[in-house]
Amino acid sequence: MSGEPMKKKRRLSGFGMIASTDELYEQRCSLPIYPARSKLVNEIRKTSSVIVIGETGSGKTTQIPQYVSEAGLVKNAMIACTQPRRVAAITVAQRVAMEMNVELGKEVGYCVRFDDMTSAQTKIKYMTDGMLLREALLDPLLLRYNMVILDEAHERTIHTDVLFGIVKDAQKKRKDGVHHPLKIVVMSATMDVDHFSRYFNNCNVLYLEGRQYPIEIFYCNQPQSDYLFSAVVSIFQIHQEEPPGHDILVFLTGQEEIEAVVKSVRDIAQDLSTDYPRLFVCPMYAALPPSQQLKIFQPTPQGARKVIIATNIAETSVTIQGIKHVIDTGKVKARSYRAGSGLDILKVQWLSKAQAWQRTGRSGREDSGTCWRLYTEEEFEALPDNTIPEIQRCNLASVVLQLLALGIPNILEFDFIDKPSSEAIIGALDQLHLLSAVEKTDQIQLTPFGKRMVMFPLEPQFSRILLMAKEYSCLEEVLTIVSMLSVESVLHTPHSKRENALAARKKFESSDGDFIMLLNIYKAYRAVKGNKEWCFENFINGRHMQTALDVRQQLHGMCLKARLTIQSCGQNTSAIRKCMTSGLFMNSAELQRDGEYLTLDRRQSVYIHPSSCLFQCKPAYVLYSELVHTSKCYMRNLCVVDPEWLYEAAPTYFKRRYSKNT
């Protein structure tokens, strides 16, 4: 029967848990989406586009591709299912391979930046939205797929937003009778359905019946000045009052504060009387090693309680069972952008009402639940209804470069579901012009240099660095630095052993800054062949190092393909720093007489991040790889530079800035 989940016999062992195929089959059949499967398959069969709305955990991501494949709708092509997050693409593919009892990478695979787990047999491909966008560069009609599922549409990431336009255009062009048709499925937990339906030619919307039990919501009486402290207090208040087995999910904004709160909660729990249930504290964020991420899915032992402290990854991307209480700090870390400066800043900010409801809904899935909002009802009322799409608050340089590479010359006329401001688009074009990627004749077009930049899956400034390395004979070195900057930090600084970690790091440090330090770490790691003990003793995250090596190998391959010669400049760190300046000159800051730094473009006040090896130093001019806004605006990953190098890298830019600032 069409859409019937397939049943195979064999025992499977996952990470520490054993689930038989029978059990998996039963789990599949008990999902809220299961009763709707024939209706879904029929709808997808008869129309070209459909929107599916259903609560997190109802089974959209894992089941719909399987139903479609079981119903024989895939034929000789593939289904792409996009995810805004890498972790989601990987874990969902693992889960689906397990449910289908196939090896990951065969019929079911995933593809994320620098990690492709697919093969010629792959029919269901989970991928990040960014990867599908890259594929569109080579194949704008997406002919390898006969269905594209744009998942987590409500997240409105910049890549998903661009994909809406590209997929819609590909579908229209493939209605020519020559090509096989393309089906589009847009999936989401909550969203402005009418807006989406209108955009996709008034397509139908299917609502899945979710399970939702009543949820009691508590607000604070007064605004909270320290949401981390309030979160810890709330955890113990619930812990002391509620029976064991009622798990707690806490929403925070990032790795550092999560680790800090995990530590406080563990410390306090140790001193608690044994009358209270045992407390299992699990952090959850994207950079956490996969084995530790899986801990949150393991059932809580009898008589104990689990507390999961997560980023907004737990809002919709992953489903956790057993949650009875949600603590919502009301905060989220998001990119924001100031048009004009062209820079993205990662900043902790208030969430939207839609996100707050999504968090609330994480309790009350299996029984009634509670949600503790660590803000007042007035503060809630003042929140915006929906999150502003990323495309309207991010630097567009990378996306504009890709759209130009796709042959879309008039970006302002591209069929965006929500248009970014023309100021932002012009700003991006301006930046690309400074990076010598575009030229403005009667029409805006990519330069030959710009076309080569598109070959690398990197932000344009980093692609430029690789391409400019020839001039400084240092591709060997900048390849390493760019790879190290493309992965999560390789520095492991546990709270309890901070001093030891900093002492161990001393030998890698450089007065030239973090870029050179990263290079030193890489060389030392290679010299000991990635020895685990060495990593442990030196507080280096071996897993992230391994990823950096892997990324480097792939970028190395791309450089060879681009016919670049891999040369080394030896100990000449000036050559390396000059080369880095050629791409990152827009990320520069100058020391002021009062000992503070101002960025060169917008004269914005910035500080050296405590994780930098230059934290105690005051070089006159620095480059940085990114700005992070927590209590202050911090520059991360610094490099000492000469002001002349900045000027040489972009004379017109600095001339213009200089005349503006004086």
* Contact residues: Mg ion, CB under 5 A: 60-61
Q: How far is the CB of 320 from ligand CDP (least distance, A)?
A: 9
Contact between residue 566 and residue 506 where contact means Cβ atoms under 8 Å apart: no
Rule CB under 6 A: say whether 319 interacts with ligand CDP. Answer: yes
Q: Does 452 bind ligand CDP (CB under 6 A)?
A: no
Binding partner selected for residue 62 from ligand CDP, Mg ion, none, CB under the kind-specific 5 to 8 Å limit: ligand CDP
Query: 398 with 391: CB under 8 angstroms?
Result: no
Strands 444-446 and 588-591, by their bridges, are: unpaired
Least distance in angstroms from the C-beta of 16 to ligand CDP? 13
Pick the binder of ligand CDP from 5, 40, 60, 391 (CB under 6 A).
Answer: 60
Which element (helix H / strand E) includes 205? Answer: strand 204-207
Closer Cβ to ligand CDP, 24 or 406, answer by number? 24
Local structure of 587: helix, strand or coil: coil
Q: Does 300 bind ligand CDP (CB under 6 A)?
A: no
- Write the DSSP string, 603-660: --EEEE-TTSTTTT---SEEEEEEEEESSSEEEEEEEE--HHHHHHH-HHHHHHHHHH
Output the smallest distance, CB 175 to ligand CDP, in A.
29
Token digits of residue 73: 């709708």
By beta-carbon proximity to Mg ion, the closer residue of 157 and 395 is: 157
Nearest distance from C-beta of residue 34 to Mg ion, angstroms: 15
Q: Which stretch binds ligand CDP (CB under 6 A): 90-98, 366-374, 520-528, 546-554?
A: 90-98
Residues 25-44 contacting ligand CDP, CB under 6 A = 31
Binder of ligand CDP out of 49, 58, 234, 402 (CB under 6 A): 58
CB 7 within 8 A of CB 70: no
Q: Residue 59: which of ligand CDP, Mg ion, none does it interact with, CB under 5 to 8 A by kind?
A: ligand CDP
Sequence-distant (≥ 6) Cβ neighbours of residue 423 within 8 angstroms: 339, 340
Supply the minimum distance, in Å, between the C-beta of residue 5 and ligand CDP: 12
Residues 507 and 190: their CA atoms lie apart, in Å, by 51
How many residues sit in the footprint of ligand CDP (CB under 6 A)?
14
With contacts defined by CB under 6 A, name the span among 40-48, 56-64, 136-144, 159-167 that binds ligand CDP.
56-64
Which does residue 319 bind out of ligand CDP, Mg ion, none, counting CB within 5 to 8 angstroms by kind? ligand CDP
With CB atoms as reference, the residue minimizing the distance to Mg ion is: 61
> Which tokens is 494 given?
């546990």
61 binds ligand CDP (CB under 6 A): yes
Residue with smaller CB distance to ligand CDP, 215 or 579: 215
- Residue keyed to tokens 């693409």: 89
Q: Give me the least distance between CB of 205 and Mg ion, in Å please.
A: 17
Rounded Cα–Cα distance for residues 196 and 389 (Å): 13
Helix (H) or strand (E) holding 599: strand 597-599
Decide if residue 54 touches ligand CDP (CB under 6 A): yes
Distance CA 580, CA 563 (A): 20
| Separation CA 619–CA 643 (nearest Å) | 11
Using rule CB under 6 A, residue 92 touches ligand CDP: yes
Using CB distances below 5 to 8 A depending on partner kind, what does residue 619 bind out of Mg ion, ligand CDP, none?
Answer: none
Strand order in the sheet with 124-128: 115-117, 108-112, 124-128, 78-83, 145-150, 183-188, 49-53, 204-207
83 neighbors 92 (Cβ within 8 angstroms):
yes
Q: How far is the CB of 350 from ligand CDP (least distance, A)?
A: 25
Helix (H, G, I), strand (E, B) or coil at 295: helix
Q: How many CB atoms lie within 10 A of CB 337?
A: 19
CB of residue 58 to ligand CDP, shortest distance in Å? 4
Tell me if 59 contacts ligand CDP by CB under 6 A. Answer: yes
Closest contact distance (angstroms) between CB of 19 and ligand CDP is 9
Q: What is the distance between the terminal CA atoms of the chain, rounded to a whole angstrom?
A: 75
Nearer to Mg ion, 96 or 649 (CB): 96
C-alpha to C-alpha distance for 190 and 154, rounded to whole angstroms:
6
Rounded to a whole number of angstroms, the minimum distance from the CB of residue 494 to ligand CDP is 28
Q: Which is nearer to ligand CDP, 112 or 627 (CB)?
A: 112
- Cα separation, 416 vs 396, whole angstroms: 13
List contacts with ligand CDP (CB under 6 A). Answer: 31, 54, 56-63, 91-92, 95, 319
